[in-house]
Amino acid sequence: MSTASDKTGRIQLLRDTLAKAGSENRAALIAYLPAGFPTVDAGIDAVKAVVAGGADIVEIGLPHSDPVLDGPVIQTADDIARRGGVKIADVLRTVREAQEATGAPILVMTYWNPIDRYGVERFTAELAQAGGAGCILPDLPVQESALWREHAEKHGLATVFVVAPSSKDERLATITAAGSGFVYASSLMGVTGTRESVGDQAQELVRRTRATTELPVCVGLGVSNAVQAKEVAAFADGVIVGSAFVKLLLDAPDLPAGLAAVRSLAGELTQGVRRS
């Protein structure tokens, strides 16, 4: 695949980045930030800050009016972005400018409805043109994903599905066979947010998922500090952190302070994901 092409998504960059982290005896640090929050330009600056701090991969959230998987912190940020008038074009611009500035693999995390309305062919083509690496689709059932996967594959984009502790082994095998890039393992039942403990459920889910696939398995939901990142990095290929970054931006007195805080947290988490 030619990286010189402006028509091809960056799934290979995603694979290479995850493989490089593994070869360095660490988990990849994956940061989540919503597009358009606090503004479109500030959101792009936030992506640059987390990558400067050490994040390997970034997920850009497409703000949605009914974010079933997201806890109160991300819901608040999504609400700010939506009140600011964020559109899919702004999400794609965030991907493009962040990718060009950082060189990191950038994915979009989105519910299915906005893509369905926008058009699958149009969205995949434009995401690939923006230099995106793929999509995380938490509410798209695998059995209804053929059209999406066909276009994603055509444009060099990863299709990342979410698995949960409630997923039976047979279901896990179906999900991982359809996915590409990596598998997003939700560490517990419930919504996103920071938690005191990430728990044993996540480790067992990773073990069960790995039994079905060669894809890297990355764990999200609940990680907010270096101690938890270290705990998850011991058994997962990637550690996904979202609410902790978003909360720093929400709580900061101004944008420069917020950017400094997310860069600093990324640096701490980068130390945490190294396996001793």
150 is a catalytic site residue: no
The catalytic residue among 70, 78, 90, 231 is 70
pTM to 2 decimal places: 0.92
pLDDT for residue 199: 64
DSSP the chain: --TT-SSS--HHHHHHHHHHHHHTTBPEEEEEEETTSS-HHHHHHHHHHHHHHT-SEEEEE---SS-TT--HHHHHHHHHHHHTT--HHHHHHHHHHHHHHH---EEEE--HHHHHHH-HHHHHHHHHHTT--EEE-TT--GGG-HHHHHHHHHTT-EEEPEE-TT--HHHHHHHHHH--S-EEEESSSS-----S---HHHHHHHHHHHTT-SS-EEEESS--SHHHHHHHHTT-SEEEE-HHHHHHHHH-SSHHHHHHHHHHHHHHHHHHTB--
200 is a catalytic site residue: no
The catalytic residue among 59, 78, 126, 237 is 59
pLDDT for residue 191: 44
Q: Examine the pLDDT at 194 and tell me if it is beyond 60.
A: no
Segment 114-147, tens digit of pLDDT:
999 999 999 999 999 999 999 999 999 999 999 9
